[in-house]
Amino acid sequence: MPVKKTSINKDKLDKVVAEALKNRKSREQDYRAKALKMYAWICGRCEREFNRQNLVELTVHHRNHDHDDNPEDGSNWELLCTYCHDNEHSRFADLVRGDGYSLHQDTPVEVATGNPFADLKAMMNNKNK
C-alpha cells in the first residue's frame, strides 16, 4: 500500500516555530525575573556569589526537570551557576540513560544557606589586635 505524501507549508511551519520560541523566551524571562527577586544571587550548589556584572552566568534550574512547572512560590526553582546547571543536567541524562546514577529522592538536596558576612566584625576586630 503506497504511503501518501503530504505537503508541508514551510511558511506556516516557520510561523509556528517562531511563535513557540517567542512564547518560550517570554515564559523564561518571567520565571527568571521572579526567581532572581526571591532568592539570593548565590549558586545553590557551589555557593558562588553573583553581582550585576556576572548575573548572566546564574541560571534558574527546575528541580523536577519540567520547564513548564513554574509555581508562583518558586518551589520548583533553584539558582545554579552555568557550570553546576550543566553538571546537574548531565547527571540527570545519565540517570535517564541508566548509567547507574541515583537521584536519592529520599535525601534532601543541600542548598547554600551560609552568610558570607557572618562574624565579619569579629574577624576584623581580631585582625586589628
**What pLDDT shows up at residue 85?**
92
Of the candidates 19, 39, 33, which has an alpha carbon nearest to the alpha carbon of residue 80?
39
Model-level pTM?
0.53
* Within a domain: 21: yes
Classify burial at 58, counting beta carbons within 10 Å of its beta carbon; exposed 0-12, middle 13-18, buried 19 or more: buried
Domain count, the chain: 1
Cell 545553590 belongs to which residue? 44
Q: Would you say 31 and 70 are in contact if contact means Cβ atoms under 8 Å apart?
A: yes
In-domain check, residue 118:
yes
Domain that holds residue 115: 12-128
Mean of pLDDT values over 107-111: 63
Residue 5 domain-assigned (yes or no): no
Q: Is residue 20 part of a domain?
A: yes
pLDDT band at 122 (very low <50, low <70, confident <90, very high): confident
Does residue 6 lie in a domain region? no
Task: Judge whether 55 lies within some domain.
Answer: yes
Whole-angstrom Cα distance, residue 43 to residue 64?
A: 17
In sequence order, what are the residues at sequence separation of 6 or more whose Cβ sits closer than 8 angstroms to the Cβ of residue 49?
Answer: 41, 42, 116
pLDDT value at 101 more than 60:
no
Distance CA(27)–CA(32), nearest Å, equals 9
45 assigned to some structural domain: yes
> What's the grid cell of residue 26?
517570554
Is there a domain that residue 19 lies in?
yes
DSSP 8-state code for residue 109:
P
> What pLDDT, in 10s, does the model give residues 67-81?
888 888 889 899 999
Q: What is the DSSP code (8-state) at residue 42?
A: B
